[in-house]
Homo-oligomer: A and B are copies of this chain.
């Protein structure tokens, strides 16, 4: 199940997503899609209401066929989880079971510490509920902290949040980075300084600084800072030069301080 010929493919597999008594094929398909979005491909069904395979699932999976084609079906939760060592039950907080409750993010951290094939996430039927008989079998309960006044999630949405937390935990995506076009060669400081100096020279010539002479340095810093924040590409610096040239050409015929 590891990535094959597609260079963009990531290794997929991961822990099992286990749907207990799912009712609608549409939802099974949407779960498959959400799983594959997050690089998970092991979908297990316990006693699906409409049997399996269910054609409707393939229609709503938007191409996540690799997940549906490899579904395993079990008759009972006990049978499904028998080879697992770490089982999470994703459910609303149960009233009469005392068990550790974790966020999806904490579950992801703990799941990463165990081999994928030993981890499973249980989800109840569409109204996002698991029977207590299934919940008690789990090591821990995942409770997704939502708006307490409106916390009922669609099944595929619940799977998405758990799977996404798992994906994030296994990634090292930086929180912020700059979009990189293939042709985005970031301009070096020399190019930028040349532009700043040309710009500042031009506005100086137009009397800009004479009105704020005592704040010249402050103003200069402010101007440079506007452009410096952007990690401009060489192409963009060229564009700025072009704009400046155009502006200077337009103004040159007229008198330099005529406006205002």
**Would you call A218 an interface residue if the criterion is a C-beta within 8 Å of the partner chain's C-beta atoms?**
no
> Which of B157, B176, B184 sits near A106, CB closer than 8 Å?
B176
Q: How many copies does the complex hold?
A: 2
Q: Are A168 and B148 in contact (CB under 8 A)?
A: no
Interface set, chain A 15-66, CB cutoff 8 A to B = 30, 33-34, 36-39, 62-64
**Contacting A176 at CB < 8 Å: which of B38, B103, B179?**
B103
Taking a contact as CB atoms under 8 Å apart, the answer to whether A147 and B37 are in contact is: yes
A167 proximity list for chain B (CB < 8 A): 145-147
A161 to B159, CA, bound (A): 12
Chain A residues with a Cβ under 8 A of chain B: 3, 6, 8-10, 12, 30, 33-34, 36-39, 62-64, 93-103, 105-106, 109, 140-141, 144-154, 156-157, 160-161, 164, 167-168, 171, 173-182, 184, 230-233, 236
Contact sample, A vs B, 30 pairs, CB 8 Å cutoff: A3-B149, A6-B149, A9-B148, A10-B148, A30-B154, A34-B157, A37-B147, A38-B146, A38-B147, A62-B152, A62-B154, A95-B181, A96-B181, A97-B179, A98-B180, A98-B181, A98-B184, A98-B233, A99-B179, A100-B179, A106-B176, A140-B176, A141-B179, A145-B168, A145-B171, A145-B173, A146-B164, A156-B157, A157-B157, A161-B164
Query: What 3 pairs between A and B have smallest CB-CB spacing?
Result: A106-B175, A145-B173, A39-B147
